[in-house]
Structure 1
Amino acid sequence: MAEFTVNAQRFDPYKNFKFRVKWDGKYVAGVSKVSALKRTTEVVKHRSGGDPSSSRKSPGRSEYEPITLERGVTHDPEFERWANKVWNFGAGAGVEVSLKDFRKDLILEVFNEAGQVVLGYKVFRCWVSEFQALPDLDANANAIAIQSIKLENEGWERDTAIPEPTEPTFVEP
């Protein structure tokens, strides 16, 4: 198990608005929202024959919630390319799906206010189960067009190789 050192100078928790997502070794452009990383473990209840008045609980199967990524609509085709590996309308009868390389591992990095990486999570064997190319369009609205992908995954783990950085001290002029 990795050892964690604690930065005694930092008392505030990290903010949730400084992050980046990476897959295929490249940062993904414009991701503005990532849903929570959540794991749920089933509870298996059982009783012992000699103790009929109460049940015991043990951990069962663990499930990882899908992760949703959102970003503003641009010309960058990465969301659509990945989604098309699972289903590509118009590719021709019998070749709509190519499951050869539809899974990807991704990295989620969280930064402090100084722009230093403070946390990282590796998410394993992701694939696109839902793709929204365009939102509802409304000529009377004042909003950014958002596209999203929903990623099924087979688990995640914290990248313990990322140490807590020593935050810079800013000197007043």
Structure 2
Amino acid sequence: MGAGPTLTLFSFAAPKARDRRDPYRAYPFLLELEGIARAVFMECSGLDVGSPSIEYRQGSDPTTVRKLPGLWKYSYISLKRGITDDAELWQWCKGAIDGRVERKNGSIIVRDGNGATKARWNFREGWPTNWTGPTLNSTGNEVAIETLDIAHEGLEKG
């Protein structure tokens, strides 16, 4: 008697590597600004927006708190990178220190391992609000890190 057809009820095989949808890794990403060449950073935070609720009492109703949406607020974008000899971003910050605030539109760009753009956040009317230089310690072997904070008036994922 010959073997009959095989019936597989369940398959628990792992997906093939090429079929997986991995999240984008934190490769160095770009800051792109109007009039300033691209700058590569290793860390970024502040890509968020929120609206606090405003609580109030309506008329003489003492039992229910009513809520209204407040103004939308955008967080400061904070960027960190190893210090370089490129002075373009420092000059932009120095202009603000000297009272010449120059607002710029810009983008934070996430790239894959091959350098292709995978995600982008565009901000508008940004200007530098803080620059923190590196902590220098001659006995350590850490990379000297500088931080740039940017205030802005709008954020879109593009």
Contact 2:27 2:112 in 1 (8 A): no
| Structure with bigger gyration radius | 2
AA at the equivalent of 2:128: V
Spell out, residue by residue over 1:92-113, the C-alpha distance to the aligned partner (whole angstroms, 9 max, x if none). xxxx3223xx111111112234
Q: TM-score, normalised by structure 2?
A: 0.77
Moved more, 26-35 or 115-124: 26-35
Quote the Cα distance in structure 2 between the aligned partners of 1:125 and 1:44.
Answer: 27
Partner of 1:153: 152
Partner of 1:63: 73
AA at the equivalent of 1:104: K
Quote the Cα distance in structure 1 between the aligned partners of 2:86 and 2:28.
Answer: 21
Partner of 1:117: 117
**Superposed displacement of residue 86, structure 1:** 0.9
Quote the Cα distance in structure 2 between the aligned partners of 1:137 and 1:69.
Answer: 19
Quote the Cα distance in structure 1 between the aligned partners of 2:59 and 2:20.
Answer: 53
Partner of 1:141: 140
**Superposed displacement of residue 14, structure 1:** 2.1
**Superposed displacement of residue 60, structure 1:** 0.7
SS in 2 for 1:86: helix
Spell out, residue by residue over 1:19-50, the C-alpha distance to the aligned partner (whole angstroms, 9 max, x if none). 22111265433322111301121111123326
Identity %: 28
Considering fraction of residues, name the structure with more helix: 2
Q: Which segments of 5 or more consecutive residues in structure 2 lack a partner in the other structure?
A: 1-18
- Structure 1 outlier segments of 4+, above 6 Å: none
AA at the equivalent of 1:149: L
**Superposed displacement of residue 18, structure 1:** 4.6
Contact 1:20 1:27 in 2 (8 A): no
Q: TM-score, normalised by structure 1?
A: 0.71
- Give runs of aligned pairs for residues 13-162 of structure 1, distance below 5 A: 13-24=23-34, 27-49=37-59, 51-87=61-97, 96-99=98-101, 102-132=102-132, 134-159=133-158
AA at the equivalent of 1:146: I
Q: Which segments of 5 or more consecutive residues in structure 1 lack a partner in the other structure?
A: 1-8, 88-95, 160-173
Spell out, residue by residue over 1:77-127, the C-alpha distance to the aligned partner (whole angstroms, 9 max, x if none). 01211101111xxxxxxxx3223xx11111111223454322211111111
